């Protein structure tokens, strides 16, 4: 890893808030500086300001190529993930930029950071020193080679397999990612008491449970209503897939959380009733929808569903602290342009589609309704199998 000179560091600090493209146009003013390299560092730091503030705020942090920063966990997700586990030794077999390793090091006496890319490993190792994470040992080696040579026993192995193909396409099936955890699973259980696996948010949870078989718990982690991570805790002899405990959690900006804990068996056994839209309409957060707590949520909060597949809920009185968004239903309409626009004098509304035969883009094109405003339209299907539009405002 190249060390930046004091002058180069001063340049990056002075221009840290400037537009990278505009800086590159000033290259002739700084012929003695490797401007492109410095601008890349500035750009990566700017991208990290919201996602990785601890790294972005340290003046001497070194960043890898932008893609590595984009692919790393956010600090919010990494801190939550670390709060789930603890012990003496954790091995991060897919260490990358080191964000997860850094937070695991607050919960384990020792962390081994394994990264096969030597340049990225060196950057992570250097940053660990800057951030005073003295209990992290960093190694430039593949996960497979480390496992073959590791003679100890860890409390936990952590894997976040790479989900980019040779043409930079996104992958999500476990067998397509690197390393292939399905192939490694027998070996993993000889090296640790438990395995924590992070998968693509796009991977079907039921499929993963069936393939992995040894899953005790699943966490579906959303940050500000966007699912960022799905985590699987693997233990030898874990319960059948239907009994694996699922936690759907949404991390909010104010530091609070919305959380639902259930099992697939509890979801299947839940009693649920259906109703026409009442005064209040509820839309679950993204973590709950990904986790599949559709019937269980209705039973737990004593809500009624609009349709088995719509995943919108209703009640006559307001349910406080609903884990998602709550609305007052002002009116209902058919999917008819003239009828809809009578409720929208400004021709503006926020549109959500749930179990409806048209897309948001198609609806906007056909009706001329612009994005924005304080009115929320839910295009859905009711309990009578009829398409309906709910005209709402936030509760």
Whether the per-residue pLDDT at 335 is higher than 90: the answer is yes
Q: Where residue 278 falls among pLDDT bands split at 50, 70, 90?
A: very high
Q: So what's the pLDDT on residue 164?
A: 64
Q: So what's the pLDDT on residue 316?
A: 97
Structure tokens at 380: 């859905």
Whether the per-residue pLDDT at 366 is higher than 60: the answer is yes
Q: So what's the pLDDT on residue 165?
A: 59
Lowest mean pLDDT among 56-70, 78-92, 100-114, 353-367: 56-70
Q: Where residue 56 falls among pLDDT bands split at 50, 70, 90?
A: very high
Whether the per-residue pLDDT at 171 is higher than 80: the answer is no
Whether the per-residue pLDDT at 119 is higher than 90: the answer is yes
Mean pLDDT of 61-71: 78
Share of the chain above pLDDT 90, in %: 81
3-state secondary structure the chain: CCCCCHHHHHHHHHCCCCCHHHHHCCHHHCCCCCHHHHHHHHHHHHHHHHHCHHHHHCCCCCCCCHHHHHHCCCHHHHHHHHHCCCEEEEEECCCCCCHHHHHHCCCEEEEEEEECCHHHHHHHHHHHHHCCCCCEEEEECCHHHHHHHCCCCECEEEECCECECCCCCECCCHHHCECCHHHHHHHHCCCECCEEEEECCCCCHHHHHHHHCCEEEEEEEEECCEEEEEEEEECCCCCCHHHCEEEEEEECCCCCEEEEEEEHHHHHHCCCCECCCCCEEEEECHHHHHHCCHHHHHHHHCCEECCCCCCCEEECCCCCCCCEEEEEEEEEECCCHHHHHHCCCCCECEEEEECCCCCHHHHHHHHCCECCCCCEEEEEECCCCCEEEEEEEEC
Place of tokens 């949870």: 205
Place of tokens 């400037």: 18
Q: Where residue 162 falls among pLDDT bands split at 50, 70, 90?
A: confident
Residue 89: asked if its preceding bond is cis (omega within 30°), the reply is no
Sign for the CA dihedral angle at 317, 291, 218, 117 comes to negative
Q: So what's the pLDDT on residue 169?
A: 63
Q: Cα separation of 283 and 254, whole Å?
A: 20
Q: So what's the pLDDT on residue 167?
A: 56
- 312 or 182, which is more confident? 312
Mean pLDDT of 118-129: 96
Q: Where residue 58 falls among pLDDT bands split at 50, 70, 90?
A: very high
Q: So what's the pLDDT on residue 262?
A: 97
Q: Cα separation of 189 and 234, whole Å?
A: 9
Give the relative orientation of helices 181-188 and 205-212 as an angle to the nearest 10 degrees. Answer: 40
Q: So what's the pLDDT on residue 241?
A: 85
Q: Where residue 105 falls among pLDDT bands split at 50, 70, 90?
A: very high
Place of tokens 């995943």: 311
Mean pLDDT of 227-242: 90
Q: So what's the pLDDT on residue 67?
A: 63
Lowest mean pLDDT among 38-42, 113-117, 216-220, 271-275: 38-42
What is the maximum span of the chain, computed from C-alpha positions, in angstroms? 73
Q: What pLDDT, in 10s, does the model give residues 304-323? A: 999 999 999 999 999 999 99
Mean pLDDT of 258-268: 95
């Amino acid at each position: 890893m190249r060390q930046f000179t004091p002058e180069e560091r001063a340049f990056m600090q002075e221009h840290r808030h400037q537009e990278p493209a505009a800086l590159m146009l000033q290259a002739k003013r700084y012929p003695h500086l490797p401007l492109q390299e410095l601008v890349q560092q500035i750009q990566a730091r700017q991208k990290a300001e919201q996602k990785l503030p601890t790294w972005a705020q340290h003046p001497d942090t070194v960043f890898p190529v932008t893609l590595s920063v984009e692919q790393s966990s956010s600090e919010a997700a990494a801190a939550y993930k670390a709060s789930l586990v603890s012990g003496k030794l954790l091995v991060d077999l897919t260490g990358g930029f080191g964000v997860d390793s850094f937070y695991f090091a607050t919960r384990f006496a020792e962390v081994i950071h394994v990264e096969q890319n030597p340049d990225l490993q060196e950057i992570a190792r250097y940053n660990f020193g800057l951030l005073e994470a003295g209990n992290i040992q960093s190694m430039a080696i593949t996960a497979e080679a480390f496992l073959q040579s590791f003679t100890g026993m860890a409390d936990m192995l952590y894997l976040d397999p790479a989900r980019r193909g040779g043409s930079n396409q996104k992958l999500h099936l476990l067998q397509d990612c690197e390393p292939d955890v399905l192939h490694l699973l027998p070996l993993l259980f000889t090296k640790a008491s438990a395995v924590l696996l992070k998968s693509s948010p796009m991977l079907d949870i039921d499929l993963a449970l069936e393939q992995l078989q040894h899953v005790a718990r699943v966490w579906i982690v959303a940050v500000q209503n966007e699912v960022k991570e799905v985590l699987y805790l693997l233990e030898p002899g874990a319960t059948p897939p239907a009994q694996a405990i699922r936690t759907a959690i949404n991390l909010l900006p104010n530091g609070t959380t919305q959380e639902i804990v259930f099992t697939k068996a509890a979801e299947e056994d839940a009693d649920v009733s259906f109703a026409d839209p009442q005064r209040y309409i509820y839309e679950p957060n993204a973590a709950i929808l990904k986790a599949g707590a559709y019937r269980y949520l209705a039973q737990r909060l004593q809500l009624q569903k609009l349709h088995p597949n719509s995943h919108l809920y209703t009640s006559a009185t307001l349910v406080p602290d609903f884990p998602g968004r709550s609305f007052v239903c002002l009116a209902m309409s058919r999917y008819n342009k003239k009828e809809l626009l009578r409720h929208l004098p400004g021709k503006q509304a926020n549109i959500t589609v749930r179990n409806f035969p048209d897309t948001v883009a198609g609806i906007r094109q056909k009706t001329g309704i612009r994005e924005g405003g304080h009115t929320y339209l839910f295009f859905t299907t009711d309990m009578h199998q009829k398409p309906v539009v709910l005209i709402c405002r936030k509760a």
